[in-house]
Amino acid sequence: MRRIKSQILSNKRLSKELHLITFTSEKIEEDLLPGNFLHILVSSSLDPFLRRPFSIFDISEGTISVLYRVIGKGTGIMKDLCKGDEIDIIGPLGNSYPIDNSNNIYCIAGGTGIASIHFLIEYIKQNHPTKQITLCWGTKTIHEFILMNEFRLISDKIIFSTEDGSYGNEGLITDFLPIFKDNSVIYACGPDGMLHILKKKPIDLPMFFSVEKRMACGVGVCLGCAVKMNNDTYKYTCIDGPVFNANELKYE
């Protein structure tokens, strides 16, 4: 974990709501694993007060990219940042997707969940090139399939779905999952609703969810980002997660 002042290198709008921001990493990227997140302070004003957690979308030497959806105060400010502006970053934080011996990797991404899945796929392609990767990617509408060519390049197979049917299958991605092969592992990142549905499916494979909870500290001191476990105790997204074994999690 380090705290750095990072310079914006670029900040592009990719779709109506999705933006990709790239900034200097002061070597933090060397310690980053897929699933890790950064805690970003976007403005020196006290409103908004807290940092914002974001997964890693991509890294390269000296830079990190984050894919974000503009939804509120913090991301509203983020989208107006220009090249040369400074942001204040703490990271890497959180755990990472555990990589086992399975030959087949199924990645299920909903919405901005695609961000950490992108980094995961790239990571696996680089470090475990023989594994077969199937990406199941659901969005609301066609325009949210950003950087499609790149995803086609790094995945072996992609299943698309949109809620409005504008591209791929019409409906939720959880309705169009492939028949999973043996010797597989599933990684999923997306809205709670999606994870909830996945969890209820009779899937007999190791399955890991990356979850999103409201955070204050991001390092385990505030106890704000609690997630309920099956045994009714709580774990904490920022230190025990964000990636959890789906078996552990309780959805009510």
Partner 1 sequence: MNKLAIKIGNLTFNSPVIAASGTFGFGLEYKEILNLNDFGAIITKGITTKRREGNPLPRIIETPCGLINSIGLANPGVEEFIKQYGDIYKIFPTNVIVNVAGDNANDFINIIKRIEHLNVIGYELNLSCPNVSDGGMILSEDPNDVYILIKTIRNITNKLIISKLTPNLCNTTELARASEEAGCDAISLVNTYLGMSIDIETGYSRIGKDYGGYSGPAIKPMALKLVYDVSNTVDIPIIGIGGISSGSDAIEFLIAGASLIQVGSIIFRNPQIAFEINTFIENYMDRKSINNLNDIIGTFKGSI
Ligand X SMILES: Cc1cc2nc3c(=O)[nH]c(=O)nc-3n(C[C@H](O)[C@H](O)[C@H](O)COP(=O)(O)OP(=O)(O)OC[C@H]3O[C@@H](n4cnc5c(N)ncnc54)[C@H](O)[C@@H]3O)c2cc1C
| Contacts with ligand X, residue ranges (CB under 6 A) | 37, 48, 50, 52-55, 66-69, 71-76, 112, 115, 212-215, 237, 242
47 binds, among ligand X, ligand FES, partner 1, none (CB under 5 to 8 A by kind): partner 1
| Residue 223 in contact with ligand FES, rule: CB under 6 A | yes
Number of H helices, E strands in the chain: 4, 16
- Cα Rg of the chain (Å, integer): 17
Return the C-alpha torsion angle 12, 14, 19, 23, nearest 10: -40
β-bridge pairing 132-139 and 157-162: parallel
| Residue 33 in contact with a copy of itself, rule: CB under 8 A | no
| Contacts with partner 1, residue ranges (CB under 8 A) | 1-3, 41, 46-51, 90, 213-228, 232-234, 239
d(CA 36, CA 34): 6
* Cα three-residue angle 58-118-115, rounded to 5 degrees: 80
Q: Which of 205, 206, 225 is nearest to 217 (CA)?
A: 225
Q: Which stretch binds a copy of itself (CB under 8 A): 16-24, 42-50, 53-61, 180-188?
A: 42-50
Structure tokens given for 186 = 């599933």
2 binds, among ligand FES, partner 1, ligand X, none (CB under 5 to 8 A by kind): partner 1
**What is the nearest approach in angstroms of partner 1 to the Cβ of residue 16?**
20
Q: φ and ψ at 32, to 5 degrees? A: -80, 135
| Residue 232 in contact with a copy of itself, rule: CB under 8 A | no
Q: Return the number of the residue (105 or 243) whose C-beta is nearest ligand X.
A: 243
| Residue 77 in contact with a copy of itself, rule: CB under 8 A | yes
| Number of residues lying near ligand FES (CB under 6 A) | 13
d(CA 206, CA 208): 7
| Residue 165 in contact with ligand FES, rule: CB under 6 A | no
Instruction: Using CB under 6 A, list all residues that contact ligand FES.
Output: 215-218, 220-225, 236-238
